Amino acid sequence: MTENFNEIQKRILELKKEKKALILAHNYQILDIQEIADFVGDSLQLARKSEEPNGYEMIIFAGVKFMAEMAAILSPTIPVYIPDPAALCPLAAYLDAEKTRAKKKEYPGVPVVVYVNTTAEAKSEADMICTSGSAVEVVESMGVDRVIFGPDSNLADYVRTHTNVEIIDLDPDGLCYVHARFKTEMLDELKKKYPDSLAIAHPECPLEVQQVSDMVGSTGMMANTVAETDAKVVLIATELGMVQQLQKRHPDKTILPFFEDAICRQMKKHTLEKILDVLENKPEENLVTVPEEYVPHIRKILEAMNKLKGQGPAAKVSVETT
């Protein structure tokens, strides 16, 4: 089936096998990268795939840096490379450990749950960690009346509306610049044309967008919903890479974004050429490391999160050629 791949994809697929490399790609990657990946999924699904995968000698993680750091922590014996080390999530950069410490001082004894979209330093201050697909379950697993939660305040709103646990914002201004741009008016317009469509939104979207959507969930949950729905038209509020993946997987359905340029520029820093360079040269600057002092605690909370029920398995969308 290699005839469907371009030359650089074919070379990556050959080298991937030769070098025993596992390529993990986030749902927001360009389709060319999704096609050569071993697994494509959301951050929870990819974190699970990162736990000491058998038979591999290197992991290439096409996602933003904090995701690759999770893989490096969960798989300490296998080197993890990121195709472009400058792929940094601005939301993750937003929360520093000092802010977290100040909040803990303000609410002594209240546990802190951080979204995975945080730096290793901020995670080291947290009692537990969650992804968008596991946030409600993680918060409820704490067994307390209130938690400090952040940094994404829209995800905090989502959790607030799905649990009786009181949610104290770690940072009320923390937002994803891509998802914060979605508006209810975009859906109103689309619904005029497609009244029987199903609208799906990511919980990083503003609460009012969540409230007018038929389903709210992580990109992994979106994939399951689209696979199962009878709706012929599905409207999606998340980054464009996910929409393109769903369009490819479901040619029988009309799958439309709320708006066309919901693009995460950081996720899109990765290219096939950069992946090939990692496979050929293993550049030192692309090797992902986490300061040793943070590793034991973050590993403990990541493993605890991975043990929760969460959601279904990572989607396999690449065509098997090996």
Told to check if 82 binds ligand SF4 by CB under 6 A, we report: no
Told to check if 222 binds ligand SF4 by CB under 6 A, we report: no
Nearer to ligand SF4, 30 or 176 (CB): 176
Residue from the set 23, 71, 198, 267 that interacts with ligand SF4 by CB under 6 A: 267
Nearest to 219 by CA among 243, 197, 254, 235: 243
Among 84-92, 192-200, 222-230, 277-285, the segment contacting ligand SF4 (CB under 6 A):
84-92
| Count, residues near ligand SF4 per rule CB under 6 A | 12
Told to check if 276 binds ligand SF4 by CB under 6 A, we report: no
Among 47-55, 86-94, 143-151, 161-169, the segment contacting ligand SF4 (CB under 6 A):
86-94
Residues in CB range of 258: below 8 A, 6 or more apart? 182, 183, 186, 187, 190, 201, 209, 235, 236, 237
Residue from the set 13, 30, 64, 209 that interacts with ligand SF4 by CB under 6 A: 64
Rounded distance, CA 215 to CA 81, Å? 34
Q: Is 52 exposed, middle or buried (0-12, 13-18, 19+ CB in 10 A)?
A: exposed
Residue from the set 12, 30, 91, 242 that interacts with ligand SF4 by CB under 6 A: 91
Among 71-79, 131-139, 176-184, 288-296, the segment contacting ligand SF4 (CB under 6 A):
176-184
Nearer to ligand SF4, 13 or 242 (CB): 242
Among 12-20, 103-111, 212-220, 260-268, the segment contacting ligand SF4 (CB under 6 A):
260-268
Told to check if 135 binds ligand SF4 by CB under 6 A, we report: no
Q: Which of left, alpha, beta for 32 (phi over 0: left; psi -120 to 50: alpha)?
A: alpha
**Tokens matching residue 245:** 């993946």
Is 149 in contact with 167 (CB distance < 8 Å)? yes
φ/ψ of 263, rounded to 5, equals -125, 130
Q: Which helix (H) or strand (E) holds 70?
A: helix 65-74
Nearer to ligand SF4, 91 or 275 (CB): 91
What x-and-dash track marks residues 93-112 binding ligand SF4 by CB under 6 A?
--------------------
| CB 175 to ligand SF4: min, Å | 9
Is 311 in contact with 218 (CB distance < 8 Å)? yes
Q: Give the start-end residues of each E strand in the chain.
A: 21-26, 39-41, 58-62, 80-81, 112-115, 128-130, 146-150, 166-169, 198-201, 215-216, 233-237, 254-257
- The residues in 178-217 that bind ligand SF4, with binding defined as CB under 6 A, are 178
Is 137 in contact with 93 (CB distance < 8 Å)? no
- Contact footprint for ligand SF4 (CB under 6 A): 64, 89-91, 117, 176-178, 239, 264, 266-267
